[in-house]
Amino acid sequence: MIGKDLKTAIKLLNEGKLVAIPTETVYGLAGNALDENAVSEIFRVKNRPTFDPLIVHTDNLEKVQNLVSDFPEMALALARHFWAGALTLLLPRKPIIPDLVTNGSPLVAIRIPNHSMTLELLKNLDFPLAAPSANPFGYISPTTAMHVEKQLGNKISYILDGGACQLGLESTIIGFENDAPIIYRKGGISVEVIEKIIGKVQIKEHSVSDPQAPGMLKSHYAPRIPLVVGEIESLMAEHTHKKIGILSFQKYFEQLPANQQFALSENGDFSEAARHLFSAMRALDEQDLDIILAELLPEKDLGRAINDRLRRAAARE
């Protein structure tokens, strides 16, 4: 059921049940992060392999301190600057975090999401919430309550409706190796903005399927029908006999019916493009098409994270 009732969500979560929650990035599938049963239910409902660990969400820094055994200076600077917001930090966990949440890793992924309804929810719980994106494993992340309802509605008791996600891209994940910051997943806060706060940051490019590098599975965020990236006009020439859909940055193409194409931002605005990316991909995927042709954005600002999602959507193993 979809609704806006915090009391219902609080009650269900206290009973160990799962609730889909809105965040500024994408919708999450949430359960008590300290309850092994609730956490294993998350993996089951998403059909997610347990080697892909979960992000833990809470609503303030003091609560984070109770979950981590160390909070290095640079991580704290990032937290102070970007929380609540689209930044996830990998930090040494305290034993209170179940093994299942981190796949046995000594590090736990933590963030404070920036959504008033979910912050209010977290404030009223005496445990943090483990929440992966609320989509079946490998599929496109949901940015509205209706997206969640369509795919997981029959498997979860409640979907808290907080409107369409403001950012539309998952959080940026940062960890540290020998005190040096590393971006493990490009996301809603751009590399440029992060580098303004802490200087040069290394970026880890994803591997095809390396369980040693969770969160970096290449094939991900994928529609059901094939998606290819490249220059739209030459792709159209290559795929003349197919029923195609187009995902462009700014332009519409006269050769094709309007409903078979989406321009992510006619004005070339990266934030708007990010906000529209997943819902446009879904809308195309729901039509009776053979293939989606997508073009990459300029490789800067949020364009980098958007391109990362497009390339992963195109990757088929």
The tokens of 112 are what?
Answer: 């404070």
Site string for Mg ion, 132-161 (x = CB under 5 A): -x----------------------------
CB of 232 to ligand TXA, least distance (A): 28
Find the binding residues for ligand TXA in span 238-297 (CB under 6 A): none
Nearer to ligand TXA, 4 or 218 (CB): 218
Choose, by CB under 6 A, the member of 85, 162, 214, 223 that binds ligand TXA. 214
Choose, by CB under 6 A, the member of 12, 19, 38, 54 that binds ligand TXA. 54
What is the crossing angle of helices 116-123 and 6-14, to 10°?
40
The tokens of 11 are what?
Answer: 């009650």
Choose, by CB under 6 A, the member of 114, 171, 279, 307 that binds ligand TXA. 171
Q: DSSP letters of 270-302?
A: HHHHHHHHHHHHHHHHTSS-SEEEE-PPPSSTH
Find the binding residues for Mg ion in span 270-309 (CB under 5 A): none
CB of 301 to ligand TXA, least distance (A): 18
CB of 62 to ligand TXA, least distance (A): 20
Say how many C-beta atoms besides its own lie within 10 A of residue 224's C-beta. Answer: 9
Q: What gap in Å lies between CA 84 and CA 115, rounded to an integer? A: 8
E strands in the chain: 2-3, 19-21, 28-32, 55-57, 87-92, 107-111, 129-130, 158-160, 172-177, 180-185, 202-203, 227-229, 244-248, 261-263, 291-294
CB of 262 to ligand TXA, least distance (A): 22
Which stretches of the chain bind ligand TXA, using CB under 6 A?
Answer: 23, 25-26, 28, 52-55, 88, 90, 102, 105, 107-109, 113, 131-133, 170-171, 173, 214-215
